[in-house]
């Protein structure tokens, strides 16, 4: 029986019924990764350690944890002890962390087997996975098309059925947008729900780790393990973690879903609109009620984000100086020259662009006009969310205004063109809210995603609504034809 395209729940059943052993599952997963290496999903494989860990798992008649023996892929932004972690950057091309990120450690402690590290936009800066030092990742649905970004390798590995699930991080949509473009499910939890310790920082007040999987049910399983307070992360939330899996079969009669007036969905591609209308009907049949709501400042999300995120990035990335770790330039005149040459050789163009914008926004004379102003608008955006969540339970939007596009077709002349792809996803990062993307059909033979945004710490509501949608549709079961990649 093939393991390809199987969910965690299905693989758990196969393991528990002894149709397959943990060792066989890991070996078949590694073989699938090799077979489809042209997708370029992985930067580094973890064959040896994965094989050893899997062989130590003895089948028993006891009830196993969901993740015992489950192969997972980790975004190459999570530090993994003894396993190269590059953030898809030349500057970290040889970096071997001495510790493991808490989110990954929790999954591994629950029995998961890390089979490799996935490709991504360099330092998570991008929406198409085209900024990786290790090359583009192909969308499994169409060769030469982007998988979305920045967690593009994780999304493609799940969509190609290589692994049942993978970790990702989301600073402005980096879990949800690639999940949408690849036809899978991806959840960005509430800011602080999952520890950021051991994640290589991009924008510290926006970054959040979360799962990418084939179903909302599988995302609930991963989130159960990943969540929880961590004293090593100073912004970790010390609040109760519900059992997300136990909560996903609740009826949604009377649940109020808001449609955001300011997003002008009527201006989108007619097929994107059609999928959205169909999803509204699906939820209406399930008993949900729809209302139009207004978030007057939400249209300012993109400029707000592109002031705050680069500012935080310019500060965070100052640690890459060629001294303590990472690339060091040769033949330098003095210490200052070493900093400049190491950074200039090590960072790619998009990372440099964002560091420069951030440096400008934080520099004397411009701080109030750009950085402080953006943080003030950020509060207005959060106030808008606080206000609408007094009258609705969930907000619903398309995940992305478009489906996947051809390599090199967006943002090369004007970077802002690519930034606008994040229009629907960015606001939940600014406000720290949870949001999920689920597949809801196709547009021109490419997957389209539906986004549900929830109130603070309401991941359970989102997972429940997403699960009910998947129980009443089969979009999440669609599989790409991978002939072009093997």
| Site for other proteins contains 18 (CB under 8 A) | no
Q: Which helix (H) or strand (E) holds 19?
A: none
117 included as an active-site residue: no
DSSP string, 302-341: HHHHHHHHHHHHHHHGGG-SSSSSS---SS-SSHHHHHHH
- Of the candidates 127, 174, 279, 428, the residue annotated as catalytic is 174
Size of the site for other proteins (CB under 8 A): 72
**By C-beta, is 389 or 419 nearer to other proteins?**
419
53 included as an active-site residue: no
| Site for other proteins contains 379 (CB under 8 A) | yes
**By C-beta, is 101 or 438 nearer to other proteins?**
101
Q: How far apart are the first and last CA of the chain?
A: 19
Beta bridge partners of 435: 188, 453
- Of the candidates 7, 88, 150, 307, the residue annotated as catalytic is 150
8 Å CB contact between 4 and 161: yes
Q: Which of residues 51-90 bind other proteins (CB under 8 A)?
A: none
Rounded distance, CA 119 to CA 346, Å? 17
**By C-beta, is 256 or 382 nearer to other proteins?**
382
Residues 6 or more apart whose CB falls under 8 angstroms from that of 303 comprise 374, 377
The single residue among 289, 332, 409, 442 that binds other proteins, judged by CB under 8 A, is 332
The single residue among 55, 250, 376, 444 that binds other proteins, judged by CB under 8 A, is 376
| Site for other proteins contains 419 (CB under 8 A) | yes
Q: Which of residues 199-218 bind other proteins (CB under 8 A)?
A: 205
Q: Which of residues 437-466 bind other proteins (CB under 8 A)?
A: none
**By C-beta, is 250 or 412 nearer to other proteins?**
412
The single residue among 33, 255, 338, 466 that binds other proteins, judged by CB under 8 A, is 338
Q: Which helix (H) or strand (E) holds 71?
A: strand 71-75
Residues 6 or more apart whose CB falls under 8 angstroms from that of 407 comprise 128, 130, 136, 144, 145, 146
Q: With CB under 8 A as the contact rule, which of the stretches 7-15, 35-43, 48-56, 322-330 interacts with other proteins?
A: 322-330
| Site for other proteins contains 322 (CB under 8 A) | yes
Site string for other proteins, 225-244 (x = CB under 8 A): ------x--xxxx-------
How buried is residue 469: exposed, middle or buried, by Cβ count under 10 Å (0-12/13-18/19+)?
A: buried
Site string for other proteins, 289-318 (x = CB under 8 A): --------x--x-xxx-xx------x---x
Closest distance to other proteins from the beta carbon of 461 (Å):
18
How buried is residue 445: exposed, middle or buried, by Cβ count under 10 Å (0-12/13-18/19+)?
A: exposed
How buried is residue 81: exposed, middle or buried, by Cβ count under 10 Å (0-12/13-18/19+)?
A: middle
| Site for other proteins contains 333 (CB under 8 A) | yes
- Of the candidates 75, 188, 341, 410, the residue annotated as catalytic is 75
State the residue for tokens 């995603």: 449
**Of 219, 245, 236, 220, which Cα lies nearest the Cα of 102?**
236
285 included as an active-site residue: no
The H helix count followed by the E strand count for the chain is 16, 11
| Site for other proteins contains 328 (CB under 8 A) | yes
**By C-beta, is 351 or 404 nearer to other proteins?**
351
Residues marked active site are found at: 75, 150, 174
């Amino acid at each position: 029986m093939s393991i390809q395209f199987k969910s965690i729940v299905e693989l758990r059943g196969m393991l528990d019924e002894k149709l397959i052993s943990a060792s066989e599952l890991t070996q078949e997963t590694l073989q699938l990764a090799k077979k489809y290496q042209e997708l370029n999903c992985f930067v580094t494989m973890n064959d040896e350690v994965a094989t050893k860990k899997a062989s130590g798992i003895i089948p028993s008649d006891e009830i196993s944890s969901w993740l015992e023996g489950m192969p997972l892929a980790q975004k190459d932004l999570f530090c993994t002890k003894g396993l190269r972690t590059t953030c898809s950057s030349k500057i970290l091309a040889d970096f071997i962390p001495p510790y493991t990120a808490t989110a990954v450690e929790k999954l591994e402690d629950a029995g998961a087997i890390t089979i490799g590290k996935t490709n991504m936009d360099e330092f998570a800066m991008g929406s198409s996975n085209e900024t990786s030092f290790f090359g583009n990742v192909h969308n499994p649905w169409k060769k030469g098309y982007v998988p979305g970004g920045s967690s593009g390798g994780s999304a493609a590995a799940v969509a190609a059925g290589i692994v049942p699930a993978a970790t990702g991080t989301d600073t402005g949509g980096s879990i949800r947008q690639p999940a949408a473009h690849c036809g899978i499910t991806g959840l960005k939890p509430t800011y602080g729900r999952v520890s950021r310790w051991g994640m290589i920082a991009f924008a510290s007040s926006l970054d959040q780790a979360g799962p990418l999987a084939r179903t909302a049910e599988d995302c609930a399983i991963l989130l159960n393990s990943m969540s929880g307070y961590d004293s090593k992360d100073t912004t970790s939330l010390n609040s109760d973690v519900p059992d997300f899996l136990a909560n996903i079969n609740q009826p949604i009669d009377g649940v109020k879903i808001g449609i955001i007036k300011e997003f002008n969905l009527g201006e989108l591609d007619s097929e994107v609109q059609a999928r959205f209308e169909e999803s509204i009907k699906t939820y209406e049949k399930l008993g949900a009620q729809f209302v139009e709501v207004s978030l007057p400042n939400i249209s300012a999300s993109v400029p707000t984000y592109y002031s705050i995120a680069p500012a935080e990035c310019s500060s965070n990335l100052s640690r890459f100086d060629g001294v303590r770790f990472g690339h060091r330039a040769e033949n330098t005149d003095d210490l200052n020259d070493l900093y400049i040459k190491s950074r200039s050789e090590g960072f790619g163009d998009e990372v440099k662009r964002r560091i420069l914008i951030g440096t400008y926004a934080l520099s004397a004379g411009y701080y109030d006009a750009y950085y402080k102003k953006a943080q003030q608008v950020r509060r207005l955006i959060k106030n808008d969310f606080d206000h609408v969540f007094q009258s609705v339970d969930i907000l619903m939007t398309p995940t992305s205004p478009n489906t996947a596009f051809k390599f090199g077709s967006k943002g090369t002349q004007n970077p802002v063109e690519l930034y606008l792809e994040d229009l629907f996803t960015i606001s939940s990062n600014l406000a720290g809210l949870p949001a999920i993307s689920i597949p809801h059909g196709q547009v021109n033979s490419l997957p389209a995603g539906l986004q549900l945004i929830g109130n603070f710490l309401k991941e359970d509501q989102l997972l429940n609504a997403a699960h009910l949608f998947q129980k009443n549709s089969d979009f999440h079961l669609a599989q790409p034809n991978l002939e072009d990649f093997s």
